[in-house]
Each structure stands twice: as structure tokens, then as C-alpha cells.
């Protein structure tokens, strides 16, 4: 994959959430929400707060979905990132 975000944007791969609750209830696919956490794969030249490899949390409806080489990614602006996990 060869994609370089511009400016203050990030390329993020979503991290799938658990499919079972703490009490053991399995959540069916049609009831799951899209994950709001992801791993940063690439950053634009104006990004200072986040680095490649960080796991970030972002808003539910943030970013632009992008498909590269049959894989789904998300392009976020730094302002869409709520925080870094870890």
C-alpha cells in the first residue's frame, strides 16, 4: 500500500471491537457498530500530536472511508482524534 496523507490527516486501520460482552453474550454482526479505535498507519506532514503505530480513539462518524488493495481504511483529520490509547 502506498498512501501518504496530506497536511493534518492520518491514515487509520480500524481495530475490531470484541464480539462478546463481559457477561458472555455474543453480539451479532448486524447489531455491531463500526469500531471507533484504530491503528495509525501513516501521518501527514503537519501532524505533531500522533505518530505512526499509535492506537487512537475517534468519533463515531469521523473521517472518510477509503479502500486500498481490497482493505478498508479511514482518513481522519487530527481534530477528529479524541485521544491516544496506551
- The per-residue pLDDT for 79 is 95
Question: Does the 9-85 domain belong in CATH 3.30.310.50?
Answer: no
Domains of the chain, by residue range, sit at 9-85
Which of 29, 28, 54, 32 is CA-nearest to residue 43? Answer: 54
Give the chain's mean pLDDT: 87
Which of 25, 16, 2, 5 is CA-nearest to residue 75? Answer: 5
Query: What are 2-37's pLDDT values in tens digits?
Result: 899 999 999 999 997 656 666 767 655 554 556 689
Tell me: pLDDT of 65 over 90.
Answer: yes
Distance CA 47, CA 41 (A): 13
Query: What is this structure's pTM?
Result: 0.80
- The per-residue pLDDT for 2 is 87
- The per-residue pLDDT for 26 is 67
Beta strand 37-43 pairing with 71-77: unpaired
Amino acid at each position: 500500500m502506498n498512501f501518504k496523507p496530506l497536511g493534518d490527516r492520518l491514515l487509520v486501520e480500524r481495530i475490531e471491537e470484541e464480539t462478546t460482552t463481559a457477561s458472555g453474550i455474543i453480539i451479532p454482526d448486524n447489531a455491531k457498530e463500526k469500531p471507533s479505535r484504530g491503528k495509525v498507519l501513516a501521518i501527514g506532514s503537519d501532524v505533531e500530536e500522533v505518530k505512526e503505530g499509535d492506537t487512537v480513539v475517534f468519533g463515531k462518524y469521523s473521517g472518510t472511508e477509503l479502500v486500498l488493495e481490497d482493505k478498508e481504511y479511514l482518513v481522519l483529520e487530527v481534530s477528529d482524534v479524541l485521544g491516544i490509547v496506551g
